[in-house]
Amino acid sequence: MSFKEHLKGKDFLTLADYSQAELAYILELATTIKNKHKSGEIYQPLKGKTLGMIFQKSSTRTRVSFEAGIYQLGGTGLFLSSNDIQIGRGELISDTAKVLSSYLDGIMIRTFSHKDVEDLAENALVPVINGLTDDFHPCQVLADLQTIKEKKGRLEGLKLAYIGDGNNMANSLMIGCAKMGLDIAIAAPKDYQPKAEITELASSFANNTEVTVTEDPFEAVKNADIIYSDVWASMGYEQEQKEREKAFATYQVNTELFSYAHEDAIFMHCLPAHRGEEVTTEIIDGPKSVVFEEAENRLHAQKALMVALMG
C-alpha cells in the first residue's frame, strides 16, 4: 500500500502517531506543493471538499494558513468559533463530531484540552487535525522540519536547542526531532520543564539521537545547529506573565547565548514573539533568523497534510 493510500482518512493528533517514513513523505509532499505554488501552477486535488475549522483558541497563522490552504487546493474552509457551534453551549463533543462528519471532509481543531481533540477524533468519521492544544502543536513542527531541511539540506545528525517554557511547542519538537533523527536539548527552569512522561515518550523514539532536558541554556545550545524559542507565557497563562518573567530572565536568546552554537546556526520561533523578552530584536530580525520562512511553511506543510489525509 502506498503512503497516499495509507494516510488517507488518518487523524493527525500528535507526531507520535506517525512513523519517520510517513512524516518524511508529508515533508516531501510539502516541498512539491510549495514549488507548485511558487511557480504559479494551479494544483487543486481537494476540489469540492470542505474543511471545518474549530477555533476555541484564537490564532493568526493557524487560521489564515488553513483557510488559504484549503482554498488553494480547490476546497472550502468553514471558520467555526465557540460562538458559532453548540460545543460552546455544552453539546457533547461526540455529538458534534458525528454531525460534522456528515457535512465535512475533514476537521481541524485548535483548542485547550488535548482530551477534547482525542474525543473528537474518536467519534468523527472524517480526518481530524490538531491545530494546537495545551499539550501539542504538531502542525507547527511539520513546518519547522520543512524549514530546517530547506536551510540545512538535511534533518538527521543536526541538533536543535529549545530555550524556554516546556510547553506544547517543546513537547512536539521533542517528538518530531526524535522521530526525524535530530538531537534536541530543552533548557527551561526546573518548574517549567516538559512533563516527564512526554520526555520519556520522545526518548522512546530516539534512534542514535539524544533527547536532553536541562536547566542550563548554555549547555543546551552548545554545538546547536538550530536555536528555537517561544513566548514565556503561552495563551492561557497570561496571568503568570510577571512571575514567568522572573523565572525565565536568564533564558533569553541573545548574542551571547548564540555564540555557543555552531557559527552557521539559525534561529527559529513559532510566533508571535515578544522582542526583548525571550529573544532580542537583533537575533529575531538578524541574518540568522528564519522565522518568516518558517511561518510561510505553515501554509505548505498543512496543505500537504490536508492532501495526504483528505485527498
Binding residues: 59-62, 86, 110, 137-140, 168, 230, 234-235, 270-271, 298
Catalytic member of 56, 183, 269, 270? 270
Catalytic member of 72, 110, 244, 302? 110
Return binding residues for carbamoyl phosphate. 59-62, 86, 110, 137-140, 270-271, 298
Catalytic member of 230, 244, 269, 302? 230
Residue with cell 502542525: 139
Return binding residues for L-ornithine. 168, 230, 234-235
Tell me, yes or no, if 56 is annotated catalytic: no
Tell me, yes or no, if 63 is annotated catalytic: no
Catalytic member of 11, 105, 134, 140? 140
Catalytic member of 114, 137, 244, 269? 137
Among residues 156, 162, 205, the alpha carbon closest in space to that of 185 is found at 162
Tell me, yes or no, if 110 is annotated catalytic: yes
Tell me, yes or no, if 262 is annotated catalytic: no
Among residues 140, 111, 151, the alpha carbon closest in space to that of 128 is found at 111
For the chain, what is the HEC assignment? Answer: CCHHHHHCCCCECCHHHCCHHHHHHHHHHHHHHHHHHHHCCCCCCCCCCEEEEEECCCCCHHHHHHHHHHHHCCCEEEEEECCCCHHHHCCCHHHHHHHHHCCCCEEEEECCCHHHHHHHHHHCCCCEEEEECCCCCHHHHHHHHHHHHHHHCCCCCCEEEEECCCCHHHHHHHHHHHHHCCEEEEECCHHHCCCHHHHHHHHHHCCCCCEEEECCHHHHHCCCCEEEECCCCCCCCHHHHHHHHHHCCCCCECHHHHCCCCCCCEEEECCCCCECCCECHHHHCCCCECHHHHHHHHHHHHHHHHHHHHC
Task: Return d(Cα 218, Cα 23) in angstroms, integer.
Answer: 30
Catalytic member of 114, 244, 269, 298? 298
Instruction: Just list the catalytic residues.
Output: 110, 137, 140, 230, 270, 298
